Structure 1
Amino acid sequence: MADESKNRYLQYLQLVTGPLEEKKRWWQYKARIKHLPDNYRTAVEALERYLMHFGPADGAGAMAMYEDLADLFEQSAADRTPIRDIFGDDPVEFVEAFMANYPLGQYRTRERNRFTSAIDRAAEQDRTQ
């Protein structure tokens, strides 16, 4: 009976907070970033903020993106690649190209579809007036 209650609690917790495995992956990613040299960590944290607002993925897709980001910067730090050599002259161009490698998350896909449908309905009203 105790195992059944524990399983229900974990199911409820995951429903409210999201999958526990994704949270573990997130904290592993954050631990990796924490060990980067200061300048690389600063760049990753800035990129992370941008991705939080404009990134295409959520859930497992987002974690794959962040893990790839950690891989990139760990390797760049090991090779002592200058920050400008990673980002180029236009950091936004870099991050947009980086994001293009990942699928849209479910939330963003749903909202894009909702937005497109609303515009289609509004445009249809123009034609019928």
Structure 2
Amino acid sequence: MSIQDIIEGKKQWRAHVARVKALPPDYQIVYKEMQKYLFKVGPVDLPDGPLLPGIVDFFEEGVAAGKGVLELIGDDVAAFCDDLIKDSPTYADVYQESISGESGTAAK
């Protein structure tokens, strides 16, 4: 990874954070809780993948439609997040695969 890649990554992250801050307060709270949960559960492709920007896109569409955040995702934020990542390998899957000695099981 070059310095240019790091700088570009920081620019993208700052633009992402600015989009989150532009959301209404209730959306921001739910997004931050989702982000904490997803970083804890750990989908392998979370840092580089389209999941977090996709959530912001989804929330921006909800705001434009005049819907509340809980109308979009329901009352259980963790269950919504689990549905988003159900087909994605997590760090727990990779760890389980490494200790069991099996290959190919983390790809579900």
Q: TM-score range by the shorter chain?
A: 0.7 to 0.9
Q: 1:77 to 1:55 in 2, by over 3 A?
A: farther
Give the whole-Å Cα distance in 2 for the aligned partners of 1:87 and 1:59.
Answer: 22
What root-mean-square deviation, in Å, do the aligned CA atoms of Structure 1 and Structure 2 show?
2.8
Q: 1:39 to 1:54 in 2, by over 3 A?
A: same
Give the whole-Å Cα distance in 1 for the aligned partners of 2:9 and 2:22.
Answer: 20
Tell me, yes or no, if structure 1 residue 24 matches structure 2 residue 22: no
Question: Is the Cα contact below 8 Å between 1:55 and 1:99 reproduced in 2?
Answer: no
Give the whole-Å Cα distance in 2 for the aligned partners of 1:75 and 1:43.
Answer: 15
**Structure 1 residues without counterparts, runs of 5 or longer:** 1-9, 122-129
Alignment length (residue pairs): 101
Q: 1:67 to 1:117 in 2, by over 3 A?
A: closer
Task: Write the letter of the residue equivalent to 2:100.
Answer: I
Deviation at 1:20, TM superposition (A): 2.6
Question: Is the Cα contact below 8 Å between 1:40 and 1:83 reproduced in 2?
Answer: yes
Deviation at 1:120, TM superposition (A): 4.4
Give the TM-score, by structure 2 length: 0.73
Deviation at 1:26, TM superposition (A): 1.1
**Structure 2 residues without counterparts, runs of 5 or longer:** 103-108
Question: Is the Cα contact below 8 Å between 2:74 and 2:80 reproduced in 1?
Answer: yes
Question: Is the Cα contact below 8 Å between 1:40 and 1:73 reproduced in 2?
Answer: yes
Task: Write the letter of the residue equivalent to 2:33.
Answer: A
Give the whole-Å Cα distance in 1 for the aligned partners of 2:55 and 2:41.
Answer: 15
Which residue of structure 2 lines up, in the alignment, with residue 36 of structure 1? 23
Which of 42, 49, 56 aligns to 1:70? It is: 56
Task: Write the letter of the residue equivalent to 2:80.
Answer: F
Per mean C-alpha deviation after superposition, the further-off stretch among 69-78 and 85-94 is 85-94
Deviation at 1:100, TM superposition (A): 3.2
Which residue of structure 1 lines up, in the alignment, with residue 106 of structure 2? none
Give the TM-score, by structure 1 length: 0.63
Which residue of structure 1 lines up, in the alignment, with residue 74 of structure 2? 88
Q: 1:117 to 1:66 in 2, by over 3 A?
A: closer
